[in-house]
Amino acid sequence: MSSPAIAFARQNYPRFLDELKDLLRIPSISTLPEHKGDCRHAADVLAAELKRIGMENVRLIETEGNPLVYADWLHAAGKPTVLCYGHYDVQPPDPLDEWHTPPFEPTVRDGNIYARGAVDDKGQVCAQVKALESLLATKKALPLNVRVLLEGEEEVGGEGIAKFVASKPAELKADFALISDTELFAPGLPTLCVGLRGMIYTEIEVRGAKTDLHSGMYGGAAPNPFFSLAQILSELKDKDGHILIPGFYDDIIPPSPEELAAWRSLPFDEEQYRISEVGARQLVGEKGYSVLERTWARPTLDVHGIPGGFTGAGAKTVIPAKAVAKVSMRLVPGMTPTKAYAQYKSYVEKIAPAGVDVEVRLVHSGEPSLIPVNNPYIQAATRALHEVWGKDTVFIRSGGSIPIVGDFARHLGIPSVMMGFGLPDDNLHAPNEKFHLKNFELGIESLIRFMEETGR
Ligand code: BES
Ligand code: MN
Ligand code: MN
């Protein structure tokens, strides 16, 4: 592994870390309108960085939401073109008091960098940029043609990038996409993710009386929308975790016997997972499926929050006029957001209790993805990973969603190589998110070797 680019990276890790910290200080939280300016700031910083390392045609592409960052370098005649993707937006940091150090003051402790976005996804975007920098700095050229496309709304459904990819496929012409936004299956184990769940994120709003009412004066006569909502929610799944929406499971394409056999040979212990990752008394879910099957290859239905009514300290005797539940479903290959949403909406409307108005709304949606593994880019990735990690790559799916992967397949006709370097306990979306610094470094080296291999 005598790549000069890798030698360059190794000499520059302290500076790379400082530059990652600068990016992590920007609170680019896409779901909170008051952070719009921070999102744009993160986009500007990344664009300046891409320009500095020698990428060309660097520009922000405006969308209805946060801007995309685009750059390219297309001088490797006869070589394939990679489309590097990542997202610079992050999830909100709450609950704040559970962080050991503030979420936007990146701090190194025990070989990890702690900050919101450390691993999801600024640290991994930064790893891709540093791989490009190391290649450009040592060779004044890249081993293959490269386009970079970063978005700032992945965590809220990615509508802007989806529209851009659908409307301008010629501007993104590439042979494959490279996405670093996933995890290693276990520490030190090189991993490629080849399947993601899709999702539909919805709200159910139930309205009863025309205004909030005194619960003594009207209790017993006025409908309580929280009860109606609870009735609806209780009819969405049975006690075994089976989703009761008619037809919901009909189109699922189950994993092949070979894929299931491969999952069984992964180093995974359900009891260990229950204790150290989940930390609950018992796991839940459909009978007859392993944890990996339930989280990778079966759909879900979850409630994320029930805003409405009185939630402050103390007691207030009120019958609220309305109640809302935020409900999402993860979809697996074979299912489509359009059909799943139609089935869900008509079922909720059918089971709506009398005396209240029920409205179902779609907030955002994304397709599930399954990547065929017999392509030269996946093979090049396993060779590169073997050199850096000294081990054979495991192929996994993930229960999470990256909606753009489906759009790349549909509109650009290209497969994605999902080469990510997070760890299962990196606390994505949770307090004390971290990125293991060794994985940041080996991630950069893996990406360098991968680009060298695909450009050979
Ligand atoms: N990077 C994650 C998805 C992910 C997590 C993939 C872990 C593999 C392993 C991504 O940023 C994410 O959180 N996506 C959202 C998408 C949604 C808002 C459409 C998700 O999965 O909830
Ligand atoms: Mn992510
Ligand atoms: Mn995320």
pLDDT of 1 reads 59
- 53-68 per-residue burial string, b: 16 or more CB within 10 A, e: under 16: bbbeebebbebebbbb
Give the chain's length.
Answer: 456
pLDDT of residue 434: 98
Q: Rounded to two decimals, what is the model's pTM?
A: 0.95
Q: Is 157 in the pocket of ligand 1 (CB under 6 A)?
A: yes
- Among candidate residues 199, 130, 119, 241, the one with its CA nearest the CA of residue 402: 199
How do residues 179-192 score in pLDDT, each as one tens digit? 999 999 999 999 99
Residues 120 and 235 occupy one common structural domain: no
Q: Is residue 271 assigned to a domain?
A: no
What CATH number should be reported for the domain holding residue 344?
A: 3.30.70.360
Same domain for 203 and 192, yes or no, is no
Residues catalogued as catalytic: 89, 154
What digits encode the pLDDT tens for the residues 26-82? 999 999 999 999 999 999 999 999 999 999 999 999 999 999 999 999 999 999 999
For residue 215, what are the CA distances in angstroms to 219, 321, 355? 5, 11, 17
Q: Supply the range of the domain harboring residue 140.
A: 4-196+368-454
Query: Are 222 and 326 contacting, i.e. CB atoms less than 8 angstroms apart?
Result: no
Of 120, 202, 369, best ligand 1 pocket probe by most atoms within 8 Å of the beta carbon: 120
Residue that finishes a domain, picked among 366, 386, 404: 366
Instruction: Give percent of the chain above pLDDT 90.
Output: 99
Task: Give the distance, in angstroms, between the CA of residue 151 and the centroid of all CA atoms in the same chain.
Answer: 12
- Work out which ligand 1 atom sits closest to the CA atom of 429: 13
Taking the CA of residue 157 as reference, the ligand 1 atom at the shortest distance is: 19
Residues lower than pLDDT 50 in the chain: none
Tokens of 405: 């992967």
Q: In 174-231, at which residue ranges do the beta strands (DSSP E only) sit?
A: 176-179, 191-196, 198-207, 213-214
CA-nearest residue, atom 4 of ligand 1 = 400
195 pocket-lining for ligand 1 (C-beta < 6 Å): no
Residues 162, 67, single domain; the answer is yes
For 137-172, letters b (16+ CB in 10 Å) and e give ebeeebbbbbbbbbbbbbbbbbbbbbebbeeebeeb
Is the Cβ atom of 154 under 6 angstroms away from ligand 1?
A: yes
CA pair distance 11, 105, nearest whole angstrom: 25
Instruction: State the alpha helices, DSSP H only, in 312-393.
Output: 337-351, 376-389
Domain boundary among 313, 342, 366: 366
158 Cα nearest atom in ligand 1: 19
Question: Does ligand 1 lie within 6 Å of residue 402's CB atom?
Answer: yes
* Count of structural domains within the chain: 2
Is 275 domain-assigned?
no
